[in-house]
Amino acid sequence: MITNNTDQNNQQCFPDLYSPNDPDLILIAKYSVFRSITLRLINDFFKEVKTYGSISGIPSDSLFLLQKKFESTICYFHDLGDRLFSSLDKTTSKIENLSEEIGSDSLIYWLYSKKRLRLIHKLEYCDNIQYLKEYIKFFCMRKAI
Protein backbone atom coordinates (compact mmCIF):
# COMPACT_ATOMS: atom_id res chain seq x y z
CA MET A 1 0.00 0.00 0.00
CA ILE A 2 2.84 2.39 0.76
CA THR A 3 4.46 1.74 -2.61
CA ASN A 4 1.15 2.40 -4.36
CA ASN A 5 0.85 5.74 -2.58
CA THR A 6 4.48 6.51 -3.40
CA ASP A 7 3.89 5.70 -7.06
CA GLN A 8 0.82 7.91 -7.13
CA ASN A 9 2.67 10.75 -5.40
CA ASN A 10 5.56 10.47 -7.85
CA GLN A 11 3.18 10.54 -10.80
CA GLN A 12 1.40 13.58 -9.41
CA CYS A 13 4.61 15.47 -8.64
CA PHE A 14 6.50 14.50 -11.80
CA PRO A 15 3.97 13.51 -14.49
CA ASP A 16 6.52 13.99 -17.29
CA LEU A 17 9.28 12.04 -15.58
CA TYR A 18 7.53 9.10 -14.00
CA SER A 19 5.24 6.60 -15.60
CA PRO A 20 5.33 2.83 -15.01
CA ASN A 21 4.69 2.23 -18.73
CA ASP A 22 7.32 4.70 -19.88
CA PRO A 23 9.21 3.47 -22.98
CA ASP A 24 12.37 4.88 -21.40
CA LEU A 25 12.14 2.16 -18.75
CA ILE A 26 12.27 -0.46 -21.50
CA LEU A 27 15.25 1.33 -23.02
CA ILE A 28 17.00 1.37 -19.65
CA ALA A 29 16.40 -2.36 -19.27
CA LYS A 30 17.77 -3.11 -22.75
CA TYR A 31 20.82 -0.96 -22.14
CA SER A 32 21.43 -2.71 -18.80
CA VAL A 33 21.40 -6.11 -20.47
CA PHE A 34 23.67 -4.84 -23.27
CA ARG A 35 26.10 -3.39 -20.75
CA SER A 36 26.24 -6.53 -18.60
CA ILE A 37 26.89 -8.74 -21.65
CA THR A 38 29.56 -6.44 -23.05
CA LEU A 39 31.26 -6.07 -19.66
CA ARG A 40 31.60 -9.86 -19.53
CA LEU A 41 33.05 -9.83 -23.06
CA ILE A 42 35.48 -7.07 -22.14
CA ASN A 43 36.52 -9.07 -19.09
CA ASP A 44 37.10 -12.14 -21.32
CA PHE A 45 39.12 -10.00 -23.73
CA PHE A 46 41.39 -8.65 -20.99
CA LYS A 47 41.86 -12.13 -19.53
CA GLU A 48 43.11 -13.25 -22.95
CA VAL A 49 45.40 -10.22 -23.22
CA LYS A 50 46.76 -10.92 -19.73
CA THR A 51 47.28 -14.61 -20.56
CA TYR A 52 49.10 -14.00 -23.87
CA GLY A 53 50.78 -10.69 -23.06
CA SER A 54 49.20 -8.61 -25.83
CA ILE A 55 46.38 -8.71 -28.33
CA SER A 56 48.77 -9.84 -31.05
CA GLY A 57 49.73 -12.84 -28.90
CA ILE A 58 46.16 -14.14 -28.61
CA PRO A 59 45.63 -17.22 -30.81
CA SER A 60 43.57 -16.64 -33.94
CA ASP A 61 40.78 -18.99 -32.82
CA SER A 62 40.29 -17.20 -29.50
CA LEU A 63 40.44 -13.78 -31.14
CA PHE A 64 37.95 -14.83 -33.80
CA LEU A 65 35.58 -16.19 -31.15
CA LEU A 66 35.76 -12.92 -29.19
CA GLN A 67 35.11 -10.93 -32.36
CA LYS A 68 32.06 -13.08 -33.20
CA LYS A 69 30.67 -12.65 -29.67
CA PHE A 70 31.02 -8.87 -29.93
CA GLU A 71 29.45 -8.85 -33.39
CA SER A 72 26.49 -10.98 -32.36
CA THR A 73 25.87 -8.81 -29.28
CA ILE A 74 25.99 -5.62 -31.33
CA CYS A 75 23.77 -7.22 -33.99
CA TYR A 76 21.22 -8.29 -31.37
CA PHE A 77 21.08 -4.76 -29.93
CA HIS A 78 21.33 -3.09 -33.35
CA ASP A 79 18.74 -0.40 -32.62
CA LEU A 80 19.98 0.50 -29.14
CA GLY A 81 22.12 3.41 -30.30
CA ASP A 82 19.31 4.87 -32.41
CA ARG A 83 16.84 4.55 -29.55
CA LEU A 84 19.26 6.19 -27.12
CA PHE A 85 19.88 9.00 -29.60
CA SER A 86 16.13 9.49 -30.10
CA SER A 87 15.65 9.69 -26.33
CA LEU A 88 18.53 12.16 -26.15
CA ASP A 89 16.85 14.36 -28.78
CA LYS A 90 13.56 14.32 -26.89
CA THR A 91 15.28 15.11 -23.61
CA THR A 92 17.29 17.93 -25.15
CA SER A 93 14.18 19.52 -26.65
CA LYS A 94 12.41 19.14 -23.29
CA ILE A 95 15.32 20.92 -21.59
CA GLU A 96 15.15 23.75 -24.11
CA ASN A 97 11.40 24.12 -23.55
CA LEU A 98 11.82 24.05 -19.78
CA SER A 99 14.56 26.66 -19.97
CA GLU A 100 12.20 29.01 -21.81
CA GLU A 101 9.14 28.23 -19.67
CA ILE A 102 10.44 28.02 -16.09
CA GLY A 103 14.16 28.74 -16.27
CA SER A 104 17.23 26.67 -15.62
CA ASP A 105 17.09 26.94 -11.82
CA SER A 106 14.19 24.53 -11.35
CA LEU A 107 14.36 20.98 -10.05
CA ILE A 108 12.68 19.53 -13.12
CA TYR A 109 15.26 21.23 -15.37
CA TRP A 110 18.05 19.75 -13.25
CA LEU A 111 16.49 16.25 -13.42
CA TYR A 112 16.21 16.39 -17.21
CA SER A 113 19.79 17.67 -17.43
CA LYS A 114 20.97 14.67 -15.41
CA LYS A 115 18.97 12.36 -17.67
CA ARG A 116 20.58 13.96 -20.72
CA LEU A 117 24.08 13.41 -19.31
CA ARG A 118 23.32 9.76 -18.57
CA LEU A 119 22.08 9.28 -22.14
CA ILE A 120 25.25 10.85 -23.53
CA HIS A 121 27.37 8.48 -21.42
CA LYS A 122 25.35 5.50 -22.61
CA LEU A 123 25.83 6.53 -26.23
CA GLU A 124 29.57 6.92 -25.65
CA TYR A 125 29.71 3.45 -24.11
CA CYS A 126 27.93 1.96 -27.14
CA ASP A 127 30.39 3.73 -29.46
CA ASN A 128 33.36 2.45 -27.46
CA ILE A 129 32.07 -1.12 -27.69
CA GLN A 130 31.78 -0.67 -31.45
CA TYR A 131 35.38 0.61 -31.59
CA LEU A 132 36.62 -2.32 -29.51
CA LYS A 133 34.85 -4.75 -31.83
CA GLU A 134 36.51 -3.11 -34.85
CA TYR A 135 39.88 -3.21 -33.10
CA ILE A 136 39.55 -6.94 -32.43
CA LYS A 137 38.36 -7.47 -36.01
CA PHE A 138 41.43 -5.63 -37.30
CA PHE A 139 43.73 -8.00 -35.40
CA CYS A 140 41.72 -11.02 -36.62
CA MET A 141 42.19 -9.90 -40.21
CA ARG A 142 45.86 -9.15 -39.61
CA LYS A 143 46.43 -12.66 -38.26
CA ALA A 144 44.58 -14.16 -41.23
CA ILE A 145 47.01 -12.60 -43.68
- Provide the CA 72 distance to its chain's centre, in angstroms: 16
How far is it, in rounded angstroms, from Cα 103 to Cα 19? Answer: 24
How far is it, in rounded angstroms, from Cα 10 to Cα 100? Answer: 24
Local structure of 102: helix, strand or coil: coil
> What confidence score (pLDDT) does residue 101 get?
80
Going by C-alpha positions, the residue among 127, 95, 97, 123 that lies closest to residue 111 is 95
Q: Are 42 and 24 in contact (CB under 8 A)?
A: no
Going by C-alpha positions, the residue among 69, 42, 35, 40 that lies closest to residue 140 is 69
| pLDDT by 10-residue block (mean), the chain, 145 residues | 54 60 82 97 96 92 94 95 94 88 82 94 96 93 80
The per-residue DSSP string of 40-81 comes to: HHHHHHHHHHHHHSSGGGS-HHHHHHHHHHHHHHHHHTTTHH
> What confidence score (pLDDT) does residue 18 get?
58
